[in-house]
Chains A and B, each alone.
Chain A
């Protein structure tokens, strides 16, 4: 932990993530206006700056951009957290199985991972959303599935590396159950590389949601997501660039936070780079 706090990148990332998370939690209490209130007569109002009613202007239906960006932290974090959790759980279980059991199971799982990898991510997402219908959750599912192979691979290689270590062999000879060994000895020790992937994956999930929204496959109104804000506002990119700009900045800022943390963690956990 101390090592992490000594890494400037990781700290910067943590600060950003903290700001964004805090915003998400207290969002309803700090929005200057109701983010859902429409007024089409006030469409694409330019930013009025501090002191104005709409500090960052209004969007395509006259809603307060700042309020929507603040509320949007929720959906974006939600997408990231849920998508990453789904891929983490499935990826880790598959990776543990493949690495620990080995043999036919290993072969089968890894072939299956190859299969997912062989799909261009966006195409796979398009198929998933086409079959299940567009919604925030299905978008997350699509994002999650694409990420599974990487997690499975990393976990598997960790298992393979740790399986023959002395402490694992010792635990086994003491009669520890397989589950206990997997969780207590192997998983705990795989924590570091997984954390790096999770943190980078969060950033990727937020950007992918934006891409899905661009293709019309992302979240559904009235859910506020930065991706949809960006995709909608691109129609006014030249006449009222503020909405797209601020939504874009929000996406880049948050993604940057997770990427900084991920990078920092990698430096910390990978002492060869010290």
Chain B
């Protein structure tokens, strides 16, 4: 008898939960590929961290969907004529989640913390041109610079302002329970399970339309897509198996958003390698990459063939060039010129575990093999791969990407300047390029001279081939038709920073 009663209760419970799950508060669930390590952008510079923390905290400026700088916590800013001062006029009437008003002191605190070497901020080098921050009044600050830096403002747009009182109080725990001015407030976080954020009803840009925002990490690409299709998550960006894209785009119940992103993937050539320091061999490799074929077939059409480090959306992008053609015959000639008409040497090609990189590595190894060059492909786990290109010279070629190339300086200086780039992954050293890049940094970003300088850099790189550029990345996101107000953002970290405009209308 008791057993039967238990069964009935269980059945009732089932029914109650089934019906109960229908009516709940509006919760927007975003799936992600990776869990964040912490939510403090000052110490965790990764994309997984930034895409979350940017819904909680804000920077002085941000990028809109056309990758133009737009006001955020600052309503306006101006550069002085000598380029040594930037004045920010701060938005008034903005309050942090703990109730205090946002003031100039918060800006000063954030940047001084960042610049203090004791704090080990990994991105400190991006801000070292800031000499001093002067508070004019509660809503006006002046950044005094050591030297003109036309691109500093882009980095400022990447750094969220923390409230000085809470940041001091929480110390290194700030990243586990962040406080900001953003549209959503931190609520709870169980790692590898979910980050729960509550709507900030007092948000200066208008209260969010949903009550709650959740980030759910789902590491497996197929599982994430299935969870999305089953409606368990509302949207997610990147990490979609290329094979699925056509099907998804033809499905009327799924919205696929695509937009070119500021980055590219490339094959890097270690110039310390006796073979790869010959530009003809590098050119040969570049001519063996069927960029169109790779984009259309390996990547499911997402991306576009690349030929320069400065992405097409930036004004300094050189549009008078075109990708090195796929031409095995020309590659053979180039190898012959370099003294290897029948190949006869071997190279190593390293890549981390992303599926498309393994595929590109296999393609390249096959193509080079056809010319008698023996390529040993080594797919390594990310930590080992990163360690290799950071701390050793034990590699000939590797496949990697650069993301977030928000300005021509970020897209070239670290990569191709012989001592400006701190990690010489490829040990490239070209006096002319060094000179051009140095000058590019100090001339105004919107000047004619800036265009000229970077044009020449791109032409040199095109001939010299320190990298063989493969494709410009394209951001891709999927959402359900009942989600409104969402448009895929070209800069992944900024994807959800306007989540207060998203709504769930079912």
A–B contact, 8 Å CB criterion (strictly below): yes
**A residues whose Cβ falls under 8 Å from a Cβ of B:** 36, 38, 40-41, 43-44, 60-61, 129-130, 133-134, 216-217, 220-222, 232, 234-240
User: For residue B375, which residue of chain A has the nearest CB?
Assistant: A222
* Selected A-B contacts with CB under 8 Å, 7 pairs: A40-B363, A43-B297, A133-B378, A134-B380, A216-B379, A220-B378, A222-B377
- Confirm or deny: B443 has a beta carbon within 8 angstroms of a beta carbon on chain A: no
Q: Which of A36, A134, A240 contacts B379 (CB 8 A)?
A: A134
The listed residue with most B CB atoms (<10 A of its CB), out of A38, A221, A235, A240, is: A221
* Given known contacts A217-B381, A220-B379, A232-B355, A43 and B298 CB-to-CB distance under 8 angstroms: yes
* Given known contacts A38-B366, A221-B361, A238 and B244 CB-to-CB distance under 8 angstroms: yes
CB-based contact B243/A239 at 8 Å: yes
Q: Which of B353, B361, B384 contacts A133 (CB 8 A)?
A: B384
Task: List 3 tightest A-B contacts by C-beta distance, closest first.
Answer: A216-B353, A236-B243, A235-B241
Residues of A within 8 A of B244 (CB): 238-239
* Given known contacts A40-B290, A134-B378, A237-B222, A222 and B365 CB-to-CB distance under 8 angstroms: yes
Residues of B within 8 A of A129 (CB): 381
Residues of A within 8 A of B366 (CB): 36, 38, 61, 222
* Given known contacts A222-B362, A238-B222, A40 and B378 CB-to-CB distance under 8 angstroms: no
Least Cβ distance of A33 to chain B in Å?
Answer: 14
User: For residue B378, which residue of chain A has the nearest CB?
Assistant: A220
- Confirm or deny: B293 has a beta carbon within 8 angstroms of a beta carbon on chain A: yes
> In the bound complex, what is the Cα–Cα distance between A43 and B297 (angstroms)?
7
CB-based contact A221/B379 at 8 Å: yes
- Confirm or deny: B294 has a beta carbon within 8 angstroms of a beta carbon on chain A: yes
Residues of A within 8 A of B353 (CB): 216
* Majority secondary structure of chain A interface residues (helix, strand, loop or mixed): loop
- Confirm or deny: B342 has a beta carbon within 8 angstroms of a beta carbon on chain A: no
User: For residue B382, which residue of chain A has the nearest CB?
Assistant: A216
Residues of B within 8 A of A222 (CB): 362, 365-366, 377
Given contacts A220-B377, A235-B241, 4 further A-B contacts (CB under 8 A): A133-B378, A221-B358, A235-B221, A235-B242
Interface string of B150-182 (1 = CB under 8 A from A): 000000000000000000000000000000000
CB-based contact B243/A130 at 8 Å: no
> In the bound complex, what is the Cα–Cα distance between A236 and B244 (angstroms)?
7
User: For residue B361, which residue of chain A has the nearest CB?
Assistant: A221
CB-based contact A130/B358 at 8 Å: no
> In the bound complex, what is the Cα–Cα distance between A44 and B62 (angstroms)?
42
CB-based contact A38/B363 at 8 Å: yes
User: For residue A236, which residue of chain B has the nearest CB?
Assistant: B243
- Confirm or deny: B101 has a beta carbon within 8 angstroms of a beta carbon on chain A: no
Residues of A within 8 A of B337 (CB): none
User: For residue A60, which residue of chain B has the nearest CB?
Assistant: B359
> In the bound complex, what is the Cα–Cα distance between A238 and B222 (angstroms)?
9
- Confirm or deny: B3 has a beta carbon within 8 angstroms of a beta carbon on chain A: no
Least Cβ distance of A130 to chain B in Å?
Answer: 7
Least Cβ distance of A171 to chain B in Å?
Answer: 52
User: For residue B247, which residue of chain A has the nearest CB?
Assistant: A239
Least Cβ distance of B357 to chain A in Å?
Answer: 11
> In the bound complex, what is the Cα–Cα distance between A232 and B356 (angstroms)?
10
* Given known contacts A216-B353, A235-B241, A38 and B362 CB-to-CB distance under 8 angstroms: yes
> In the bound complex, what is the Cα–Cα distance between A129 and B380 (angstroms)?
10
* Given known contacts A133-B380, A221-B379, A41 and B362 CB-to-CB distance under 8 angstroms: no
Least Cβ distance of A213 to chain B in Å?
Answer: 10
Residues of B within 8 A of A36 (CB): 366
* Given known contacts A130-B381, A237-B222, A40 and B243 CB-to-CB distance under 8 angstroms: no
Residues of B within 8 A of A221 (CB): 358, 361-362, 365, 377, 379
Residues of A within 8 A of B247 (CB): 238-239
> In the bound complex, what is the Cα–Cα distance between A134 and B388 (angstroms)?
14
Least Cβ distance of B327 to chain A in Å?
Answer: 16
Least Cβ distance of B192 to chain A in Å?
Answer: 17
